[in-house]
Structure 1
């Protein structure tokens, strides 16, 4: 019997090595609660309950300290959105319209993300330089700002000021050969109510220790980001920078922010 065990031992060892190796868990337990939990839908809003409303556009600068999670190297927000778009879970809308009326074609998005360039390459067989077309991969770090489109309204049913984020767009800068910024433009628009469930599954990076993890959806709905107003709905459909400059532009942006929060107090006083 002992000899049989000696003969079977190498076979059992080989079978164990032949089985797929299980990779170690980089945690103390598997995290499935956040991925399996469903995001609650928005409560319905009756048109008759809206006493006041205003469209607001704002910019999030990821270089500010509170906004550093947007630039998390392992999973920046733009990479999360792009992966969902490429997987067919999320739709990308053209930046030509902010009303989510024009869908972006896959080829159009690829041209924006992966640009082709021509560089000289020395061909040793020919003994001279030849030009070769190369494709530049998209760098998530090139997105330094995000643009939000919001709807602020006073709900008479709850007697409170509410806000709904309608859309979010990553912003990239177009630079000349000297590296100077010529203009900035959105890569694409994402309809935020469609992205809520996807963002709810993705944990938001946090510094230090924390008791309960937060998702990207929590960050937006709890307003844990810094931003400044660049436009409010007006009859000219113009941004603040088109109407004001310098110090007056900063004051008007702050005033627009204060008007939003004073709106609720004004309704209560009246």
Structure 2
């Protein structure tokens, strides 16, 4: 009798344990109905989906002892930023999808009279113009007959992918709150950067026009010139001169989004990590904890100049960016005495 009671209690215990694991561990042995699809894995990742934004600490204007506005760029080709371009959770796809669903507002980056820099969130950009800037709008397709004559045309929707965006621009304020004795950055806006397609820019190259040309320099008086009749095989190569002063196409913002508004979307989007799938980091965590690599392109100044406006060399621009970073850190360190 005692053995029967022990067997019943043991079976009851196993059933309770299995019922407690139904929510996380998929131990189903019966066919799953369409209304209840199987669990993709052994743990349901519900913590990121149910998170709420942690609000900023309030700051009074009289408590701001120091403030500096900084513009910086994030290059997704850097190793530390490759998670932003992961096909599983690409940041650009998340932003565009939120704009389509009405969860985010896109702002026009065009310079206007009431918004000289185009990043003050003054003019709203409609969703159709957002897709047009990204190249995902409709395209006109013409129809031809057997005589190569246009007989009709129709519009087809052109697909767009976020993998074409390789850089993001961030506008942020570095603030020292004397009430809390905290020196911290607060991101104001984020903008994806796109490179405009200008016809004729790729024409500036130096390539020989004649594939059979010799390597003799026609301008060298001591070079041994080819004897005989000048033919297509031995005539000097015609080289298109390199125009180093040609048009330089820079990446420009496609639109701006207001970061405090975007936090409510990014807080529920998990970031893909190369080392572990159980990090539990959201895009809001990445931006708030500064888990990205960037370089400064501009700081607030009386002349409203970018670094590229007064420094031409690329390496010197990076050094100037590091100098500005160090100046901000030195300000915080100089506030205290040890």
Bin the TM-score by the shorter chain: 0.7 to 0.9
CA-based RMSD: 2.4
- 1:119-134 alignment to 2 at 5 Å? 122-124=144-146, 127-128=147-148, 130=150, 132=153, 134=156
Distance 1:172 1:268, change over 3 A: same
Question: Residues 98-247 of structure 1 correspond to what in structure 2 (within 5 A)?
Answer: 98-113=119-134, 114-117=136-139, 122-124=144-146, 127-128=147-148, 130=150, 132=153, 134-176=156-198, 180=202, 182-209=249-276, 211-246=278-313, 247=315
Q: How many residue pairs end up in the alignment?
A: 252
Aligned to 2:319: 251
Q: Distance in 1 between matches of 2:263 and 2:107?
A: 16
- 5+ residue gaps, structure 1: 1-15
Identify the range of structure 1 (138-147 vs 260-269) with the bigger mean alpha-carbon deviation. 260-269
SS where residue 255 of structure 1 aligns? helix
2:285 and 2:263 mapped to 1: Cα distance?
A: 9
TM-score, length-scaled by structure 1 = 0.85
Tell me the secondary structure at the aligned position of residue 158 of structure 1: coil
For normalisation by structure 2, the TM-score amounts to: 0.69
- What's the CA shift for 1:254? 1.0
Mapped to 2, the partners of 1:20 and 1:183 lie a distance apart of 51
Higher strand share: 1
Q: What's the offset of the Cα at 1:267?
A: 1.7
Residues 139 and 123 (structure 1 numbering): CA distance in 2 closer, same or farther, change over 3 Å?
Answer: farther
CA change 1:179–1:224 in 2 (3 A) is farther
